[in-house]
Amino acid sequence: QINSNASLTVSLAQTPYCKKHRYDPQNPLCAHIIFCGSVVKVNDSEAGLAKKALFSRHPEMEGWPKDHNWFFAKFNITNIWVLDYFGGLKIVTPEEYYSVKP
C-alpha cells in the first residue's frame, strides 16, 4: 500500500539452456529479462479471470484461510530490459513486448 513498485528478473539460467551451451549464469549470453512496474489490486471486472488463472495453476490456494485478507493483483509493467549480449541492456517497451507473436 505504501510502495507498489516491483521488479521481476527471469534468466535462461533457470532452464537447461545455459548449462547445455556451457554459459556461466553471469555471462550475458545466458540471457535474462528484467520487468519493472507496479503491483496493483485487480478491479471487480478482472477478478474472475485472475481467480481462474491462479487457481487453475495452484488449486490448493483456493482453500487458504480467508482471514489472511488475500487479494488478487496484477503486475503493471512499465519498463523491460533485456540483457542477452555484450554491450549493455536493450530496452523493450511493454507495447513491443505484448505485440510479439509466440
Distance from CA of residue 23 to its chain's centroid? 23
Expressed as residue numbers, the domain containing 29 is 5-99
Four-residue CA torsion sign, 34, 94, 12, 27: negative
pLDDT of 2 over the 90 cut: no
Nearest 5°: the CA angle 91, 33, 57 is 130
- Unique residue bearing C-alpha cell 485478507: 69
Model pTM above 0.85? no
The total domain count for the chain is: 1
pLDDT-derived band at 66 (thresholds 50, 70, 90) equals confident
Q: Which amino acid is at 2?
A: I
Q: What's the CATH code of the domain at 95?
A: 2.30.110.10
